[in-house]
Amino acid sequence: MKKNISIAVVGLGQIGGYLLNELSKKKNEIEVKTGKKIKISAISAKNINKKRKFKINKKIFYKNPLDIIKNEKIDVLFEVVGLNNGISKKIVELSLKNKIHVVTPNKSLIAKHGDYLAMLAEKNKVNLEFEAAVGGGIPILRTLKEGLATNKIIKVVGILNGTCNYILTEMENSKSTFSNVLKRAQNLGYAEPLNPKYDLNGYDALSKVKILSALAFNNKISKNSGLMEGIENIEIKDINMADKLDLRIKLLGITEIINNKLFERVHPCLVKKDTYIGNINGVMNAVILKGYPVGQSILQGEGAGPGPTSSALMSDLLSILRGNIKYPFGIPSRKRKKITIYDSSKYINSLYLRFEVNDKPGVLSEITKNLARFNISIERLIQIPDKKNKKATIVIITHKINEKNSNKCLQIFKKSKNILQNPTLIRLF
Amino acid sequence: MKKNISIAVVGLGQIGGYLLNELSKKKNEIEVKTGKKIKISAISAKNINKKRKFKINKKIFYKNPLDIIKNEKIDVLFEVVGLNNGISKKIVELSLKNKIHVVTPNKSLIAKHGDYLAMLAEKNKVNLEFEAAVGGGIPILRTLKEGLATNKIIKVVGILNGTCNYILTEMENSKSTFSNVLKRAQNLGYAEPLNPKYDLNGYDALSKVKILSALAFNNKISKNSGLMEGIENIEIKDINMADKLDLRIKLLGITEIINNKLFERVHPCLVKKDTYIGNINGVMNAVILKGYPVGQSILQGEGAGPGPTSSALMSDLLSILRGNIKYPFGIPSRKRKKITIYDSSKYINSLYLRFEVNDKPGVLSEITKNLARFNISIERLIQIPDKKNKKATIVIITHKINEKNSNKCLQIFKKSKNILQNPTLIRLF
């Protein structure tokens, strides 16, 4: 690799701006560590005049990032726009085809087009690096690809979405409703101000789970939608009830191999308060790996925000500058296999079910009769009356039951006149 | 790098044996991940006939490892003998001079001769890798060198010795004495059967702290002996008292930069039970990094044993086979600086002091008067009488005080007739 390295940054939002600043601040350090001199040769964003925290050099500004590739001799391009298609895909594709190394924190792009883009990178002998896509500042992908390279990974469990974890923690701490805490999170910059949907419904965490699977199990990124549930239906009632049971609600992302089949899932879980995972609070992320021979490894760190993200982007840059050409997913694309998808209807858990009901004789028996019909046996039942409104909350903790039965059973309750809303289901971890 | 890679393993104890087995089991996987075919061409140990769990190929056995370099064309050598000098140093030195990559888990060798050996490796353009030297299976060194490469690291705190952590945990759980638990640890293979001294007195952890400093702060390995205290003087009384105070005793290794000076230390600490570090139990290791911009990162995993150690050794091998030539300490040796050593007598802590005294009038006042003389003020005092023996235990938690004063003060108590043994001092974290 030549000594002078020309860099382009596409996307000048919160992360792009922070990154630009880091790149100029750490030029000397980068030269000491890698022997390479870096220069920022091009930047691009939708709007040159948008109000930004930092000044941009308008002389190197491109409105259309694709023009950068035509006009400049770029060695490394950062894609920090963040779409899972559109200009994000186009600029990454064009860069790789032009033998330009690419660094991106874009999990949805990688989860959707990672296989194709990795092949493109390998064909053109350049790097496609995406450490920042999972776990923010936690070097989890590098750990899977390198630090634990020859371990047989069996299971990966993570708290992968800082927004959801912040909201759940804050609901517990401040006893506020979901929507109030969401507003607070948006004001603090922990949740997207306009469209937080993809964080809240589990999509963001599932993209990360898919990337983790691909690295842990050497499979192609699964196209399967997986089992995906978000935290939108968690109410303060559930938080309080969990608290009483010495449990805590966490949105977990899990991937594992069960009988040679791949099972990826994201859903809220009730975890014990005195466990490690039960104590990852606020915007923290954590990943627990079970592997052989290494045993259990845990990595924890700040999961989002421009600081941790830039830390990961910079580590990718250094890896490239050290001349360390690597397969984007640790092994050659042609060696990556497809793994059959596990049938999630067989997934077995104890369940927490919360019913909001009319406080009438016969309602409890309606619930328990239906549960019994589907072989769902009850471990614990708590009834909280709301006499004034002639209503009641019934919380049931079940013994272990598969998804098929619990889904079918819950369908039935939808038709009941005395059950006032869809029952809330949270799996026990 | 050529396609066929010839490997030597020097040292065939527990770790060497496990490693040999891993190397043969994972040949195919290594070829897939790196494109290289490995072959074990030479092995060496003191005694060819020693009873081993595994069979060795006597045709490739060398009694003297130095002969391997003369007779074989080796590409990568594993040093798993573990001395901080002697044959360990000789074989590593000779290998590097002969342009052979070296992988070792030998923390005491690296802490003692790492600077020299790193220069030798750089001069000969080969790798010297020692991921397994710190934190067993935790890829902490790679994380500092690569994953967090451009972060400014401010402080590293770790539970770095699995033997000590196991003993402290077991003393608490089983309410047994130090010597009983040590015996149990030796039987289970968690402590050296013949000479556990270097684990118990903090030397092992301090070697690891020195390596962590060098990677976190880009300094030459400090020659300074640092502040080093082990767990040999912790009694079950201290464990029980900590328990009552909702604290737990942990042997911590800490390195940080204070006013541009390097402060490395290993000593028992009283940590709160409900903190992260207070819940790293048994043989687990954990490292907490504070860096900028990444924030706080935590890595946790099994700290010792052949499985985790082999995991780290194999990751080093793969890094070499991928052709990733790196500076052993992340930057060129000539750029590594010397950092002035912080004067540890200025180190300030609240202290836990336990006095065993004759239960006589005036003893308590003798203690408190002397504490006052050295400006040590008392936050809490607990006196537990042992009426039968006319003795008492006095535990004092002090306000913050520097090491200079506390050391001087404790000297005075040595001369007292009524204070029956050296007071036990444990710093509060």
- The tens digit of pLDDT for each residue in A325-383 reads 789 999 999 999 999 999 999 999 999 999 999 998 899 999 999 999 999 999 999 99
- The reply to whether B417 belongs to the active site is no
Indicate the length of chain B as a whole number: 429
Q: What is the pLDDT of residues B354-378, one digit of tens each?
A: 999 999 889 999 999 999 999 999 9
Does B150 contact A315 at a Cβ distance shorter than 8 Å? yes
List the end-to-end C-alpha distance of chain B, in Å, as a whole number: 49
B343, B375, B401: which is the final residue of a domain?
A: B343
Query: How close is the nearest chain B Cα to the Cα of A156, in Å?
Result: 14
Which of B208, B237, B335, B346 is an active site residue?
Answer: B208
| Count of other CB atoms within 10 angstroms of residue B258 | 13
A172 and A284 in a single domain? The answer is yes
Average pLDDT score over residue span A36-54:
93
Rounded (to 5) percent helix, strand, coil in chain B: 40, 25, 35
Chain A residues touching B150 at Cβ < 8 A: 22, 26, 29-30, 33, 311, 314-315, 318
Q: Which helix (H) or strand (E) holds B324?
A: none
State whether A154 and A296 are in the same domain: yes
Are residues A256 and A122 part of one domain?
no
- Domains in chain A: how many in total? 3
Q: B125: distance to nearest CA of chain A, Å?
A: 14
Task: Give the integer Cα–Cα distance in Å for B114 and B120.
Answer: 10
Phi then psi for residue A79, to 5 deg, are: -100, 110
**Global pTM value:** 0.89
* Domain harbouring A363, CATH code: 3.30.70.260
Measure the CA–CA gap between A320 and A100, rounded to whole angstroms. Answer: 11
What residues in B contact A291, CB-CB < 8 Å? 311
- The residues facing A6 across adjacent strands are A39
Written as six digits, the tokens of A124 are 């053109």
Q: Is residue A263 part of a domain?
A: yes
Q: Do B153 and B129 reside in the same domain of the chain?
A: no
Pick the residue from chain B with its C-alpha nearest to A281.
B276
Please provide the average confidence, as pLDDT, over all residues in chain A: 94
Q: In this structure, what CATH number is given to the domain that contains residue A242?
A: 3.30.360.10
Structure tokens at B421: 């043994």
CB A358 within 8 A of CB A390: yes
Residues A104 and A34 grouped into a single domain: yes
Q: CA nearest A131 in B: which residue? A: B147
Q: What is the mean pLDDT of residues A262-277?
A: 95
The 3-state DSSP class for residue B135 equals coil
Given a contact cutoff of 8 angstroms between Cβ atoms, the answer to whether A234 and A168 are in contact is yes
Which comes out higher in pLDDT, residue A238 or A189? A238
Interchain proximity B139–A150, CB inside 8 Å = no
The active-site residue, picked from A89, A145, A208, A250, is A208
- Rounded Cα–Cα distance for residues A231 and A250 (Å): 9
- Measured in angstroms, the CA of B12 and the nearest CA of chain A are apart by 18
State yes or no: pLDDT of B188 exceeds 90: no
Contact A29, B153 (CB under 8 A): no
* Phi, psi dihedrals of residue A60, rounded to the nearest 5°: -110, 15
C-alpha torsion sign, points A132, A135, A138, A143: negative
| Chain A residues with CB-CB distance to B294 below 8 A | 137, 301-302, 307-308, 311
CA A8 to chain centre: 26
Question: B77 - beta bridge partners?
Answer: B8, B102
Q: Are A109 and A160 members of one domain?
A: no
Asked if the model's pLDDT at residue B415 lies above 90, the reply is: no
Chain B positions in Cβ-Cβ contact with residue A315 (cut-off 8 Å):
146-150
Whole-angstrom distance, CA of residue A168 vs CA of residue A249 = 7
Torsion angle of the four alpha carbons A143, A144, A149, A151, in this order, in degrees rounded to the nearest 10: 120
Half-sphere CA count of B37, side-chain side, radius 13 A? 2
Are residues B230 and B182 part of one domain?
Answer: yes
pLDDT band at B164 (very low <50, low <70, confident <90, very high): very high
Minimal Cα distance from A33: which residue of B?
B331
What are the structure tokens assigned to B87, written together? Answer: 């044959």
Pairwise CB contact (< 8 Å): A293 & B307:
yes
Whether residues A349 and A415 share a domain: the answer is: yes
Nearest to A282 by CA among A315, A248, A257, A309: A248
Residue of B nearest to A139 (CA): B147
Instruction: Name the average pLDDT for chain B.
Output: 94
Region B303-328 average pLDDT: 90
User: What's the CA dihedral at A28, A29, A34, A38 to 10 degrees?
Assistant: -40
pLDDT above 90 (res B189):
no
Q: What is the pLDDT of residue B334?
A: 95
To the nearest whole Å, the CA of A90 is away from the closest chain B CA by 28
Q: What is the pLDDT of residues A150-165, one digit of tens each?
A: 899 999 999 999 999 9
Domain ranges, residue B72 = 4-133
Q: Is B270 helix (H, G, I), strand (E, B) or coil?
A: strand
* pLDDT reading at A79 higher than 90: yes
DSSP letter string over A203-242? Answer: HHHHHHHHHHHHHHH-BPPP-S--EE--STT--HHHHHHH
Residue A358 lies in a domain: yes
